[in-house]
Amino acid sequence: MAEILFIKTSSLGDVVHHMPAVSDARRRMPGARLSWVVEEPYAPLARLHPGIDQVITVASRRWRTQLHRPETWSEIDRFRRAIRERRYDVVIDSQGLLRTALIAKAVRGVRHGYDRASIREPLASLFYDVRHQVEWRSHAIVRNRILTGRALGYDPPPQFDFGLDRASIVRNARNGYAVLIHATAQAGKEWPQSNWLAVARALVDRGLEVVLPWGSTAEHRRSDEIAAALGCGEVPDRRPLDEVAGLIAGAAVIVGVDTGLLHVAAALGVPLVGIFIGSEPGLTGPLGSGPIAIVGGKGAPPDAAEVLRTLDRVTGGGR
Residue 221 CB neighbour total at 10 angstroms: 12
In this structure, the answer to whether residues 96 and 198 fall within a common structural domain is no
Residues 6+ away with beta carbon under 8 Å from 105? 111, 127
In this structure, the answer to whether residues 11 and 146 fall within a common structural domain is yes
pLDDT tier for residue 319 given thresholds of 50, 70 and 90: very low
Whether residue 221 lies inside any domain: the answer is yes
* pLDDT digit string, tens, across residues 261-312: 999 999 999 999 999 998 888 888 899 999 999 999 889 999 999 999 999 9
Examine the fold and report which residue of 93, 119, 152 is the final residue of a domain before the chain moves on. Answer: 152
In this structure, the answer to whether residues 303 and 195 fall within a common structural domain is yes
What is the Cα–Cα distance from 201 to 114, expressed in whole angstroms? 46
| For residue 104, pLDDT beyond 50 | yes
* pLDDT digit string, tens, across residues 228-246: 999 999 999 999 999 999 9
Percent of the chain with pLDDT over 70: 98
- The pTM (predicted TM-score) of the whole model is 0.94
* pLDDT digit string, tens, across residues 6-43: 999 999 999 999 999 999 999 999 999 999 999 999 99
Residues 6+ away with beta carbon under 8 Å from 281? 258, 274, 294, 297
| For residue 173, pLDDT beyond 70 | no
- Note the maximum CA span of the chain: 62
Task: Average the pLDDT over 220-231 and give the result.
Answer: 96
In this structure, the answer to whether residues 199 and 131 fall within a common structural domain is no
In this structure, the answer to whether residues 99 and 224 fall within a common structural domain is no
| For residue 50, pLDDT beyond 80 | yes
Closest C-alpha to 14, from 84, 97, 111? 97
Percent of the chain with pLDDT over 90: 89
In this structure, the answer to whether residues 253 and 215 fall within a common structural domain is yes
* pLDDT digit string, tens, across residues 253-273: 999 999 999 999 999 999 999
What is the Cα–Cα distance from 232 to 228, expressed in whole angstroms? 7
Number of domains in the chain: 2
* pLDDT digit string, tens, across residues 57-77: 999 989 999 999 999 999 999
| For residue 212, pLDDT beyond 60 | yes
pLDDT score for 317: 65
Look up the domain containing 205 and give its range: 166-315
In this structure, the answer to whether residues 24 and 92 fall within a common structural domain is yes
Task: Average the pLDDT over 161-186 and give the result.
Answer: 89
Task: Average the pLDDT over 104-129 and give the result.
Answer: 97
The CATH number covering residue 40 comes to 3.40.50.2000
